[in-house]
Amino acid sequence: MFKTTIAGSLPKPAWLAEPEKLWAAWRSEGTELVQAKRDAAFVWIKEQEELGIDTVTDGEQFRSHFVHGFLESIEGIDWETKTTMGIRDNRYEVDVPTVTAPVRRTRPVHGDEVRFTRAHTNHAFKFTLPGPMTICDTIANGYYDTRADMAMAFAEVLNQEAKGLAALGVDVIQFDEPAFNVFMDDANEWGIDALERAADGLDCKTAVHICYGYGIEANIQWKGTLGEEWRQYERIFPAINASRIDQVSLECANSHVPMSVLSLLPDKELMVGVIDVATDALETPEDVLRVIEEAMQYADADRIMPCTNCGMAPLNRTLAEAKLDSLAKGAELARKRHG
In a domain, 323, yes or no: yes
In a domain, 284, yes or no: yes
Per DSSP (E only), the strands in the chain are 55-56, 74-87, 92-105, 124-130, 140-141, 172-176, 205-210, 247-251, 269-275, 304-308
In a domain, 71, yes or no: no
pLDDT at site 91: 76
* CA angle, residues 30, 34, 36, in degrees to nearest 5: 110
In a domain, 18, yes or no: no
Tens of pLDDT, residue by residue over 318-338, are: 999 999 999 999 999 999 999
pLDDT at site 90: 74
The domain that holds 181 is classified in CATH as 3.20.20.210
SS3 244: coil
User: pTM here?
Assistant: 0.96
**What share of residues in the chain are helix, strand, coil (percent, to 5)?**
40, 20, 40
Per-residue pLDDT of the chain (339 residues; tens, 9 = 90+): 999 999 999 999 999 999 888 888 999 999 999 999 999 999 999 999 999 999 999 999 999 998 999 999 999 999 999 999 877 877 778 899 999 999 999 999 999 999 999 999 999 999 999 999 999 999 999 999 999 999 999 999 999 999 999 999 999 999 999 999 999 999 999 999 999 999 999 999 999 999 887 766 766 776 677 778 888 899 999 999 999 999 999 999 998 999 999 999 999 999 999 999 999 999 999 999 999 999 999 999 999 999 999 999 999 999 999 999 999 999 999 999 997
In a domain, 129, yes or no: yes
pLDDT at site 86: 79
Rounded Cα–Cα distance for residues 284 and 328 (Å): 10
Cα torsion through 124, 295, 326, 230, rounded to 10: 100
Specify whether the CB–CB gap between 27 and 36 falls below 8 A.
yes
Residue 5 DSSP symbol: B
The residues near 214 (Cβ < 8 Å, ≥ 6 apart) are: 277, 278, 309, 310, 311, 314
Residue 31 neighbours by CB distance under 10 Å: 8
Specify whether the CB–CB gap between 143 and 102 falls below 8 A.
yes
Range of the domain at 178: 30-64+110-135+158-338
φ, ψ of residue 186 in degrees (nearest 5): -65, -35
Rounded Cα–Cα distance for residues 261 and 64 (Å): 32
In a domain, 14, yes or no: no
- The contacts found for 26-31 with CB under 8 angstroms, 24 or more apart, are 26/64
Specify whether the CB–CB gap between 216 and 66 falls below 8 A.
no
Residue ranges of alpha helices (H) inside 103-186 are 111-119, 132-136, 147-167, 184-186
In a domain, 203, yes or no: yes
Rounded Cα–Cα distance for residues 246 and 204 (Å): 10
Task: Please provide the DSSP assignment of 177-222 as one string.
Answer: -GGGGT-HHHIIIIIHHHHHHHHTT-SSEEEEEE----SSHHHHHH
Rounded Cα–Cα distance for residues 203 and 183 (Å): 29
Q: How many separate domains does the chain show? A: 1
The residues near 113 (Cβ < 8 Å, ≥ 6 apart) are: 37, 41, 58, 62
